[in-house]
Amino acid sequence: MKLDRRTRWLALYVLCLGDLMIVLDATIVNVALPSIRADLGFTEASLAWVVNAYLLTFGGFLLLGGRLGDLFGHRRLFLAGIALFTVASLACGLVDLAEHARSPRARCRASAARSSRRSRSR
């Protein structure tokens, strides 16, 4: 399958936009930590787990995302990862209790790892 020049550039823009979403999400969480602490009543240890949930799930699912991309197709996995990432980010924004904040954050990073370009590299 030969892609024309315009299609390749469009694919590059979509991949860059996906990576930008991942980086922005991680940055937003780090910037929002003081607000999360004040609004949801997190302790210092709980705030550390918000960040750790990001790092642990992203790293673990990055490897899994690469393998699943090999099995099911990188394009399909990228689109599924972006869709799940969007839904998980929305769920994180709607959280009102500290106990519920960790699970959507972890799901958000898991889907981000699936859509990351690093999981698509060979």
Q: What is the reported pLDDT for 5?
A: 86
Output the pLDDT for position 113.
61
Ranges of residues in the chain whose predicted pLDDT is under 50: none
**9 is a domain residue:** no
Give the amino acid at 35. S
Q: What is the rounded distance in angstroms from the CA atom of residue 113 to the CA atom of residue 105?
A: 12
Could you tell me if 109 and 119 are in contact, meaning their C-beta atoms sit under 8 angstroms apart? no
> What's the number of CA atoms in the CB half-sphere (13 Å) around residue 82?
14
What is the distance between the alpha carbons of residues 117 and 74, in angstroms, rounded to a whole number? Answer: 9
C-alpha gyration radius of the chain? 16
Give pTM, 2 decimals.
0.62
CA distance 80 to 111: 8
User: Which pLDDT score, from 0 to 100, does residue 115 have?
Assistant: 59
The DSSP output letter for 94 is T
> Cβ of 99: how many Cβ atoms within 10 Å?
9
Residue 46: domain span: 19-119
Q: Is residue 1 part of a domain?
A: no
pLDDT at 70: 92
Residue 4 lies in a domain: no
Number of domains in the chain: 1
